[in-house]
Amino acid sequence: SPLSLLLKNSPLVSRLNLYDIAHTPGVAADLSHIETRATVKGYLGPEQLPDCLKGCDVVVIPAGVPRKPGMTRDDLFNTNATIVATLTAACAQHCPEAMICIISNPVNSTIPITAEVFKKHGAYNPNKIFGVTTLDIVRANTFVAELKDLDPARVNVPVIGGHAGKTIIPLISQCTPKVDFPQDQLTTLIGRIQEAGTEVVKAKAGAGSATLSMAYAGARFVFSLVDAMNGKEGVVECSFVKSQETDCPYFSTPLLLGKKGIEKNIGVGKIS
Q: Is 154 annotated as a binding residue?
A: no
Closest CA relative to residue 111, chosen from 134, 79, 133, 137 = 133
Question: Distance (Å, rounded) from C-alpha 186 to C-alpha 171?
Answer: 11
Helix 107-120 / helix 77-94 crossing angle, nearest 10 deg = 40
Q: Confirm whether residue 184 is marked as ligand binding.
A: no
Strand 261-265 and strand 250-258: the pairing is antiparallel
Q: Is 163 a catalytic residue?
A: yes
- C-alpha 260/C-alpha 98 separation (Å) is 10
Question: Is 139 annotated as ligand-binding?
Answer: yes
Q: Find out whether 71 is annotated in a ligand binding site.
A: no
Question: Do the annotations mark residue 67 as ligand-binding?
Answer: yes
- Residue 104 among known ligand-binding residues: yes
> How much is the CA Rg of the chain, to the nearest whole Å?
18
Task: Write down the catalytic residue from 23, 33, 94, 163.
Answer: 163
Q: How far apart are CA 130 and CA 220, in angstroms?
A: 13
Annotated binding-site members: 20, 67, 73, 80, 103-105, 139, 214
The catalytic residues are 163
Known binding residues for NAD(+) are 20, 80, 103-105, 214
Annotated binding site for substrate: 67, 73, 105, 139
